[in-house]
């Protein structure tokens, strides 16, 4: 019988980061992580499929992001709906209390190519979730895809800045600033007039 | 002593697709592929790290794409430089002779999540190569990144259309059309005035 363990995913993630810092990512096993967290190995595998996954949460971003995009006012422009999603992440996920965890997590990921690969795949999946959320708002397919790609780029930039050890800004402000920068850049990439056939 | 084998990567890829069609991806080994191609298993591993990799070539896209972006006229707008890269892909990689291979390759990838994962990672890596190529043209970092993301999206769309079994258009025309569509969509996503702080 599985016992209910309060906040097991975060306890496991905290334990994993502690151990990675102490003895290195390669030298830490799933059993080590579970023991440090005071949990059973089977509890680990109820939440994460492998050791890499413990640093990536259980789809923690897509849920709040998609819900907030869906709840944005119907008249909001595409990137404004994305901004509402970022506000939700600032409120529910990337809170000031979580920043120290994020700084340590990033140091581990930056040091391991297989973790970077997992992060890249999570990014692709999150972009797909955002694309569906934008399409559900009634946007044409291609507008939904472009919005999601630009939003995902802004999110990566903001997350990177937020997890810089010297940063003190809160995530919501960083995310809106990054979105503004990406939007401004998107207006400067256009090719010469008539060079591309228009649909 | 390694013998020189003419065109070994393409022979291995063709053999792999034949075998995947005959007996399924799961039931095909690297040894099967090498034998079908009339090559040694060691020759396979000189070109590809594993069975999945045989469908992804040896960085076949990044080389011509980056070279053509670098060679685009200095005064070309960012997306025009990307279009020059697509022209090179149409000429050197996605040739009419290659289309049948691509249609079969896509059917295998669409049926296997681990291959889709590998393809997604190749896409992330290709976008990074495009970003560096645009930055080498002297563009600001964020403009280079946005251009690469929009270009990569257009490339995925064009490749998807080109590898539709019913398609008869050549890749270059499809790629320029997709780039024009992405560009038009990018001009419609903007948020309300003053809603985002500008950098």
Q: How is chain A split into domains, by residue range?
A: 8-55, 62-186
Looking at beta carbons, which residues of chain B come within 8 Å of A192?
76-77, 80
With 60 as the cut, is the pLDDT of residue A194 above it?
Answer: no
- pLDDT (0 to 100) of residue B3: 59
**Chain B partners within 8 Å of A149 (Cβ):** 149-150, 153
- Per-residue b or e along B11-35, where b marks 16 or more CB atoms closer than 10 Å to that residue's CB: bbbbbbbebbeeeebeebebebbbe
A41 in contact with B at a CB cutoff of 8 Å? Answer: no
**Class in CATH terms, A62-186:** mainly alpha
- The length of chain A is 199
Contact A195 B142 (CB under 8 A): no
Whether A121 sits inside 8 A of B123 (CB atoms) is: no
Contacts of B76 in chain A (CB under 8 A): 191-192
How many Cα neighbours within 13 Å face the side chain of B76?
A: 20
The three-state (H, E, C) secondary structure of chain B, written as one string: CCCCCCCHHHHHHHHHHHHHHHHCCCCCCHHHHHHHHCCCHHHHHHHCCCCHHHHCCCCCCHHHHHHHHHHCCCCCCHHHHHHHHHHHHHHHCCCHHHHHHHHHHHHHHHCCHHHHHHHHHHHHHHHHHHHHHHHHCCCCHHHHHHHHHHHHHHHHHHHHHHCCCCCCCCHHHHHHHHHHHHHHHHCCCCCCCCCCCCC
Give the model's confidence band at A58: pLDDT under 50 very low, under 70 low, under 90 confident, else very high. low
Q: Distance between CA atoms of B38 and B47, rounded to whole angstroms?
A: 15
Cα–Cα distance, B199 to B140 (Å, whole number)? 13
Q: For residue B77, give how far its alpha carbon lies from the nearest alpha carbon of chain A (Å).
A: 5
Q: Average pLDDT in the B98-103 region?
A: 89
Predicted pLDDT at A1: 42
A188 touches chain B (CB under 8 A): yes
Q: Chain A contact for B134, CB < 8 A?
A: no
- Identify all chain B residues contacting A181, using CB atoms and an 8 Å cutoff: 142, 198-199
Question: Looking at residue B125, what is its pLDDT?
Answer: 92
Residue B75 buriedness (CB in 10 A; 0-12 / 13-18 / 19+)? exposed
The pLDDT tens digits for A78-102 are 999 999 999 999 999 999 988 988 8
Residue B186 forms contact with A (CB below 8 Å) = yes
Please give, rounded to a whole number of angstroms, the shortest distance from the CA of B175 to a CA of chain A: 10
Mutation site, B81, B87, B146, interface A, largest A CB count within 10 A: B146
ipTM tops the 0.95 cut: no
Tell me which CATH homologous superfamily contains domain B8-55.
Homeodomain-like (1.10.10.60)
| pLDDT-derived band at B190, boundaries 50, 70, 90 | confident
Mean pLDDT (whole number) for B57-65 = 84
How far apart (Å, rounded) are the C-alpha atoms in residues B199 and A123? 25
Does residue A131 carry a pLDDT above 90? yes
B196 touches chain A (CB under 8 A): yes
What's the confidence (pLDDT) of residue B187? 86
d(CA A2, nearest CA chain B) in Å = 30
Q: Which residue has the tokens 């709840």?
A: A71
């Amino acid at each position: 019988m599985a016992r209910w363990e309060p906040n097991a995913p975060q306890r496991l993630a905290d334990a994993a980061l502690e151990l990675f810092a102490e003895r290195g990512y390669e030298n830490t096993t799933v059993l080590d992580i579970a023991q440090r967290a005071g949990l059973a190995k089977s509890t680990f595998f109820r939440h994460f499929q492998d050791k890499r996954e413990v640093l990536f949460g259980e789809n923690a971003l897509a849920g709040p992001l998609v819900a907030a995009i869906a709840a944005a006012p119907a008249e909001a422009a595409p990137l404004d709906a994305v901004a509402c999603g970022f506000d939700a992440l600032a409120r529910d996920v990337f809170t000031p209390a979580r920043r120290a965890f994020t700084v340590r997590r990033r140091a581990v990921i930056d040091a391991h190519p297989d973790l970077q690969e997992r992060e890249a795949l999570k990014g692709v999946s999150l972009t797909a979730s955002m694309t569906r959320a934008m399409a559900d708002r009634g946007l044409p397919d291609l507008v939904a895809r472009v919005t999601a790609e630009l939003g995902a780029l802004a999110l990566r930039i903001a997350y990177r800045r937020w997890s810089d050890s010297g940063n003190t800004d809160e995530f919501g402000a960083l995310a809106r600033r990054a979105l503004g920068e990406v939007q401004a850049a998107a207006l400067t990439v256009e090719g010469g007039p008539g060079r591309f056939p228009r649909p």
